[in-house]
Structure 1
Amino acid sequence: MEIIELTPAERRVWDAFPRGEGVDFREHPDEDPAAGSSWGPERTLRAEALAALLLTGPTRDGQVAGLNVRGARITGKLVLKYADVDHAIRLRACLFERKPVLFGARLRALSLTDSVLPGLTASTLTVDLALRLACCRITGPVRLAGARIGGGFFLKKAVIGDPDTAGREGEEPPLQFNHAHIGTDVIAAGLTVHGQTRINGATVGGRINLDDARLLAPGGTALHAETLTVGTDLRAMRMQARGRVNLTGSRIPGQLNLAYASFANPGGVALRASSCTAGELWLRECPTLQGSVNLRRSTFDLLHVPPTAWPDRIRVDGLTYRTLAPHLPAEERLPALEREESGYLPYAYEQLAAAYLTVGDEAAARTVQLAKLRRHRGTLPRHGRLWGLLQDATVGYGFRPLRAALWLLALLLTGSVAYGMRPPPPLKPDEAPEFNPVFYTLDLMLPIIGFGQEQAFAPRGWAQWLSYLLIVTGWVLATTTAAGISRSLRRQ
């Protein structure tokens, strides 16, 4: 394109380009670019003129050329497919009538901050520095699959997608940077996406910030982030997710911070983070998730989840964590394990008990182990359940040893009073020792230790039936106590 073909507005941009100077067409800083369709030729730029400027525009020795425009209406399609552009591109607060095509291009830097676009096609794009789409309003899909961005990717307060088609089956995801490589951070605080945000397989060298984001795909997948790799943290505090959030297989060495976030996918999976590895998972102060939670085979150093956050259905088979916060009594944590979709999972109870032991709360760990055995009892045949009930009632499966002492004391008092009121006659009066109701009762109850009383006296009538009861209950208590002690020793 020859310079003589340029319009006055384009000539201003062309003249400023060699020095990298900005051209501001705005009448005031608060203009809304969404109204740009009414802008006249004095602030209209043709996309082909901008492409020609970037590819063949003049430069000056000792100065850094660059395209720097604010408040322009850009007509036509900006096509830089496979182009190699060494100059920074800044087209801020502009209205694009057609979506730019940057597929396979290599750019120095790209900023479309505050602009309005019908979409962006930039798969496999390479940006040496930063890509800025902050505060943009983009109605069509943003295609950045496989992009490589040397610096940061900025999406703060951007609005992407069409709310009328959000979550519709077969609809193309509005925001796609799956399998992209981001050198530093993804800053997307306050981002709104009407439809799926697809970032599966992406690698982010720094952190991802989705604080206050709104990911809206009702009935579909709001965030598809399988096998995502993050260098430090993924923050999504106060995020609103309507649809499934899928973090399966992600690797986040720092915090996966979902504090104060709300998840809603009724009838489906609200949060799936199976086979995920993260330093910390935070669901602090989250309202109860609407939909199920899947954390199977995941590993966390810290799991910060209040009991009120768990929904009615969870999957935690193979979930591993070292510590659990906030520290609460075991009775408040146990109901969540009963919501496991797969039914009784011994490992889930063992993991919870281990977390309590890690912080030195042995009483809570014993409570969890007792709950585990009670839950296991329901899976046994009838005779096993009866034996379990007996162990539970007498010694609490070995976790409540004082119960056996109380039972023994009650039986001892009963026998001592009964035989003290009506001593049994001796078998051999001349050889019998002096009768002692306390040691006679102990002789009946204890199966191993003998005090010489039981063999010397023979009760009759109701006293004889009482002796049978003391003998049987003594054997049962001794057996269940031994089983409980054995189980306790194995745990230690």
Structure 2
Amino acid sequence: MSVRQLTAVEREIRDALPLGRTVDLSGRLDQTVRAEVLRDLLLGAADVGAGRAGRSDRRGRDGRHGDPDRGSPDPDNPDGGEEDDGDGGEEDDGDGDEDRGDRDGDGGNGDGGDVGGPGPATALRLTRAHITGTLDLTHAVLDFPVRLRGCVLDDRLLLYGARTRQLSFNGTRFRGLTLSTASVDGNLRLNRCESDGQIRLIGTRIHGALLLTGTRVRQRGVALDATRLHVENDIVAHHPAEVLQFPPDAASRPFHCDGEMRLNNAVVGGAVRLEGAHLHNRAGTALSAADLSVGTMLNCCDGFHAVGKVDIGYARVGSRVCLEGARLDATRARGAARTGDGDAGAPDCGEGFDDGDEDDGDEGGSDEDDGDEGGGRSRGVALDARHLTARELVLRPLITPGGTVDLRHAALGLLRDDPATWPDRLLLDGLRYDGLDAAGDDGPRWRWLRLDPGGYRPQVYGQLAATYRAQGRDADARTVLLAGHRHRRSSLGPAARVWSYLQDALVGYGYRPVRAAGWIALLVLTGGVVFSLRPPAPAEGVTPAQFHAGVYALDLLLPLIDFGQEKDFAARGWTIWFAYFLIAAGWTLATTVAAGVTRTLRGG
């Protein structure tokens, strides 16, 4: 390759690269760096003048000629002091650690000694540069840390299929990032970035954490596609109370995604932290995390705001899914995208921001639908948690969700919610849980079960009753089962509905046995008064015993018990019809009590 004429800034970068020194262009008149020069410096493939021989054994290698499986002899410190402790959940955003090597002077041991690969201190540390052209590092193998801090790129950043040590782009602005099917040995730092184009992390493996604090991504359709992403530690896109002031005007902003954030089939060894994140996709789905696997927590709480559907269906979460203090709004989904009515929250994707301009055709087609997969079906669904598996679900949003909440066939250890923010539509069929914790609710929640627009579902009533019984709340369990039968009544035919009303009125479907005793007492008292005023005549051919009006009424009422009064005396006149009424009432009571007892013995 021919020798290029380097600018003063590019020569400074060339000389600093093998020593790991920071090149800070803040305040300089010339901040321009050509992307092709930077690529050649990183790959070690260009004849860049003096010092080439001394760097030839430290250059990065193009993955098409190098060994992509080559590892580092020091996995505990892969970037020589630039890595944080790897705990994405309590991440240092890198602004302090990344400068540690710079304070050690001209390199030497400032980056942790010999880490193998290109050289003992090789690293790209570039601050406030304006990179022109397309920085294409497709399939590159970079055995040293790369840090672009507060830089501006005119085009997409291409790292498709790359094998890297640690990548840090804190505070950098670019027109999209392609890092699919890549491998990052340490953390991938994208804190406070501005991406006016899609970020693709499809099939990528990150051996540390993915850090997105304060970042904003703008792209119609799918803005951040991390399908099949594998992260060994955490995904951190939260809004911390205290962050370092770089850049000063972006320190306090939350992670913001204008378009769909997609984590389908991703595997996260630690937590997914989206506290305070803002996800806006009026074209349909705001967060798509179907089949997501999380080792610890999935936090969409503390100011989390989603405009569009949140889909965590079939996700597996090791401990807790938290939606406390969240805002879920799917009522406006698809309207703005279809009508093009000047949505203030829509991304400004001008010419040159096409998300299909890179050669990613082999990435499994995850972006074929451009975020509209199931768009018609997702309308009005604020939270899709079908078949979710978690030890705990905290469903206490800040306000009532704007759309349906779907919990069908989810398996939960503990469900925490708040009756004040129950949704208008709640799908519960097949939902299983071991315990309930409702804020400010000590009574049975039969009204909660009536929120399902699908009508009567016997399983949901049985599940709630079983949970109450396990907690020792037998009275509440009976109330729930009674409410279930009343709900079922609306689906019965006319005759069955009449019989249902009778069972409810007489014995509460067997769950109110005291009510039967009350009916018997009332009928016996009434019968005693009637037959005292109009005593029956002695039966023919029988020597009657002494007449007792109350016992006579009781003998008529109880079909299987004989007190002898009914045989000795016969009602006369209009009391004959009253006697028939008592006999019919007795059989009705007996039948409903038997049905209720049978139902109770069968568990409702």
Fold shared by both chains (TM-score > 0.5): yes
Q: 1:175: which partner in 2?
A: 224
Q: 1:36: which partner in 2?
A: none
Task: Map 1:135-146; keep pairs closer than 5 Å.
Answer: 135-146=192-203
Q: 2:514: which partner in 1?
A: 402
1:6-31 CA distance string (max 9 Å, x none): 3222232222222222222224xxxx
Q: 2:279: which partner in 1?
A: 215
1:251-296 CA distance string (max 9 Å, x none): 1121111111111111521111212212211111442111222222
SS at match of 1:388: helix
C-alpha displacement of 1:2: 8.4
Q: 2:554: which partner in 1?
A: 442
Q: 1:356: which partner in 2?
A: 468
Q: 1:245: which partner in 2?
A: 310
C-alpha displacement of 1:301: 1.2
Q: 2:327: which partner in 1?
A: 262
Tell me if the contact between 1:329 and 1:364 (Cα under 8 Å) persists in the aligned partners.
no
Tell me if the contact between 1:330 and 1:368 (Cα under 8 Å) persists in the aligned partners.
no
The question of 1:18 aligning with 2:18 is answered yes
1:178-220 CA distance string (max 9 Å, x none): 1111111100113100011111111111111001001100131
How far, CA to CA, are the matches of 2:430 and 2:598 in structure 1? 27
Q: 2:438: which partner in 1?
A: 326
| Counterpart pick for 2:135 among 78, 101, 117 | 78
- Identity rate of aligned residues, in percent? 42
For these two proteins, the number of residue pairs brought into alignment is 471
The question of 1:64 aligning with 2:53 is answered no
Tell me if the contact between 2:419 and 2:438 (Cα under 8 Å) persists in the aligned partners.
no
C-alpha displacement of 1:441: 1.6
Q: 1:382: which partner in 2?
A: 494
Task: Map 1:18-417; keep pairs closer than 5 Å.
Answer: 18-27=18-27, 40-41=29-30, 43-56=31-44, 58=55, 63-162=120-219, 166=220, 171=221, 173-189=222-238, 190-237=254-301, 238-266=303-331, 267-326=379-438, 328-329=441-442, 331=444, 333-417=445-529
How far, CA to CA, are the matches of 1:6 and 1:288 in structure 2? 60
1:414-463 CA distance string (max 9 Å, x none): 12222234433323698221112221221111112112111112232233
C-alpha displacement of 1:111: 0.3
Compute the TM-score of the two structures, normalised by the length of structure 1: 0.90
SS at match of 2:264: coil
C-alpha displacement of 1:473: 1.2
How far, CA to CA, are the matches of 2:497 and 2:171 in structure 1? 68
Q: 2:70: which partner in 1?
A: none
Q: 1:440 to 1:213 in 2, by over 3 A?
A: same
Task: Map 1:417-436; keep pairs closer than 5 Å.
Answer: 417-427=529-539, 431-436=543-548
How far, CA to CA, are the matches of 2:505 and 2:552 in structure 1? 26
C-alpha displacement of 1:329: 4.8
Q: 1:33: which partner in 2?
A: none
The question of 1:457 aligning with 2:588 is answered no
1:364-395 CA distance string (max 9 Å, x none): 11111111111222222222111111111000
Q: Which has the higher contact order (CA 8 A, sep 6+)?
A: 2
Q: 1:203 to 1:214 in 2, by over 3 A?
A: same
The one-letter code sitting in structure 1 at the alignment partner of 2:223 is P
Tell me if the contact between 1:256 and 1:282 (Cα under 8 Å) persists in the aligned partners.
yes
C-alpha displacement of 1:244: 1.3
Q: 1:30: which partner in 2?
A: none
How far, CA to CA, are the matches of 1:105 and 1:152 in structure 2? 17
Moved more, 416-425 or 266-275: 416-425
The one-letter code sitting in structure 2 at the alignment partner of 1:12 is E
Q: Superposition RMSD on alpha carbons, in Å? A: 2.1
How far, CA to CA, are the matches of 1:105 and 1:111 in structure 2? 14
SS at match of 2:328: strand
How far, CA to CA, are the matches of 1:460 and 1:293 in structure 2? 64
Q: 1:113 to 1:193 in 2, by over 3 A?
A: same
Compute the TM-score of the two structures, normalised by the length of structure 2: 0.74
C-alpha displacement of 1:357: 1.7
Tell me if the contact between 1:54 and 1:87 (Cα under 8 Å) persists in the aligned partners.
no
